[in-house]
Amino acid sequence: MREYRQLLLANRAWSQELIDERADFFTRQSDGQKPAFLWIGCSDSRVSPEQMTMTPPGGMFIHRNVANLVNPSDLNLMAALQYAVQVLEVPHIIVCGHYGCGGIKGAFAGGATGQLGQWLKHASSVVCDHADELAALDSEDAKLNRLVEMNVRDQLINLARTDIVARAWKDGQPLWLHGWIYDIRDGHIKPLMELDADASLEEVGRPDSVLLSHPTRAANGIAPE
């Protein structure tokens, strides 16, 4: 069977399962959305925000791009951000990166061309801004893992500096920004940092690493990354 046909069959089964659980499910969905979260994550096919948080349809407004970047010149992102904050009035925005990110690895290695190369320039600035800390690490894996974390930190600050978020905070709108890391080795999401209206962005330091060695790797005597 061709792969795309399997997607269509799976969709029918998914739809029927929801209807079996609640007959008016899609009728209620048609009435509108009121999600509590805007998720800004990576396009990586292994990272499925709704599935890995068990969030039902309607609970999460989602924007994804390569390396989960917050670039104010990205009209797609800014339109999603404006709609989420000003229309949907979500109280939480999550920037979620993940270890093993191909976009971060590409930014670190350099050499990407075309549209991808242009896009990753925004992540390359993170490499430059944290070059001192990265240089002190003794392996490429350690550097890439820390870069994933520093990228989330920097993108969260970029998010806080947007006019949309700044205006919401000034107006007293309840809004919290969360920086998370997804570990593809065990499926766990690890909170890295959080910002609110009282945060002094100029004083935000570098958060401690949330990367822990994988239990199996540690049990086998493999050093933490």
Pick the catalytic residue from 22, 28, 46, 167. 46
Q: Is 128 a catalytic residue?
A: no
**Best CA proximity match to 38, nearest among 177, 198, 151, 209:** 177
Pick the catalytic residue from 2, 12, 31, 44. 44
Q: Is 46 a catalytic residue?
A: yes
Pick the catalytic residue from 63, 96, 98, 154. 98
Q: Is 98 a catalytic residue?
A: yes
Q: DSSP letter string over 17-54?
A: HHHHH-TTHHHHHTT----SEEEEEE--TT--HHHHHT
The CB density around residue 54, as the number of other CB atoms within 10 Å, is 7
Q: With the CA atoms of 202, 191, 121 and 138 taken in that order, what torsion angle do they form, in degrees rounded to the nearest 10? A: 100
Pick the catalytic residue from 96, 101, 146, 154. 101
* Helical (H) or strand (E) element with 179: strand 176-183
Beta bridge partners of residue 188, listed in sequence order: 183
Positions marked catalytic = 42, 44, 46, 98, 101
